[in-house]
Amino acid sequence: MIVKLSLLFIVLISAVTTSYLYRRNEKLNKKFKNLTDYLGDVNTIADSVRYGNLAVRADNNTPEETARLTDSLNRMIETLNDREQMIHEYQIELTKKNNFLATLINSLSDGIIVCDENFVIIETNAHFRSWIKDEKAVKRKVSDFIKQNDDKPVSEWNNDDIILKNKKDLYFKATTKTVEAKNHQAKYMIVITNYTDQKEIETLKEDFVATLTHDLKVPVIAESNMLEFFLSGKFGEINDTQKEALKSMKSSNKELLELVQTVLDTYKVKDGEISLNFEKVDVLPLIDEIKAEMDSIAQKSNNKIVLHGKADFSINVDYMQIKRVLKNLISNAILYGRPDTNIDITVKQKNGHSYIYVKDYGKGIAKEDVGKVFNKFYSANKKFRKIGTGLGLYLSKKIVDAHGGDLTVKSKEGEWSEFCITL
């Protein structure tokens, strides 16, 4: 009996357990199916977002187990939507700025080229394209369109003369600017200016001045001859007062004639017409002759011209032209040197070169002006309210260059200036 009851109890326990496990498995299968369906929905939403549909949202009516994930997913999509809206607004603003910048650049009268570190053209403006007749320039080399007389690198162009392809009858200058790039690759912007009109005006002006100066030379020479006749007594005796006045006039006339000749020679140099008659010249007699001519001028400001070094060597030069250069340098030294100071002339030879230095102790030259002193029409006289053409050093430089030499300057503002002729 007991055995039968035990067997019945076991059978009942087994039946109850089997029933519980079946119901439990059925519930798990349902949950698993719901989870699989939910993950499928999430995958569909992810694909929609990936292809740009940010209006899609996950259903909030989900089981408690997935509610937090649903909420996070929806908030993420909303954030992406906000970011996309901001990016869209930024793009609109950037497009407006780019269009404005493009309009501004295309309205410039200068030509603009933007190129990479290898000087391959990236972009050009409308004015440059008009010069090359809209020929395609992008992805081509700058050198395909622009030539320069010397071998100066494109990156170093600074208001340098250039020749534009098919525009050889026009005059252009170019300046290159480095453009900062975030990718650390150098980019350059080349600004090209057409100065043909200014060049033509300058040529007309120079031709007028050259013609006027040439015509002026004749009466100045005639005046000089007439003054000489008066001083020699050919028109009768003159008293001492009259003689001093005539000498003063003759001195002024000589300065005027030298000025006229300087202007004329400047235009000859410009046109390449300067001619040199080379000869062997002893340095010491040359310096002595110039010193004798300039001493009287130096004495007016109590300056003293002093020679340093052994001048016992010869140089192969055009005597009159090199004498002209030295007189101009000494004249400037007297003009800008302080009274009661020396004008030092130092001569020497070294390593097959001859050097002649002219040094004064006066106003000096400002650091920013040192590179300009040999420019045409540059003159420190304007700064110090003195008369001058600004052609003396320009012409001197050209004369020394024509000799195959060099004329350089060093200076300390307020203390001294030193010019050096190297032959």
Find the mean pLDDT for residues 333-347: 89
Give the fold, CATH level 3, of 278-422: Heat Shock Protein 90 (3.30.565)
**pLDDT value for 93:** 80
Q: 200-230 pLDDT, tens per residue?
A: 887 777 666 666 666 666 677 777 778 788 8
**pLDDT value for 79:** 82
pLDDT higher for 340 or 92? 340
Neighbour tally for 290: CB within 10 Å: 19
Concatenated DSSP letters of 383-418 = HHT----S-HHHHHHHHHHHTT-EEEEEEETTTEEE
pTM (2 d.p.): 0.49
DSSP 380: T
Would you list the domain boundaries of the chain?
25-107, 108-194, 199-270, 278-422
pLDDT band per the 50, 70, 90 thresholds, residue 364: confident
Mean per-residue pLDDT of the chain: 76
Closest by alpha carbon to 141, among 112, 115, 160? 115
Beta strand pairing call for 121-124 and 342-350: unpaired
Homologous superfamily of domain range 108-194: PAS domain (3.30.450.20)
pLDDT band per the 50, 70, 90 thresholds, residue 268: low
Confirm if 343 and 417 have CB atoms less than 8 A apart.
Answer: no
Q: Identical fold at 108-194 and 278-422? A: no
Closest by alpha carbon to 375, among 365, 384, 385? 365
pLDDT band per the 50, 70, 90 thresholds, residue 65: low
**21, pLDDT greater than 50:** no
Query: What are the CB-based long-range contacts (under 8 Å, 24+) for 18-27?
Result: none
**13, pLDDT greater than 60:** no
pLDDT higher for 80 or 211? 80
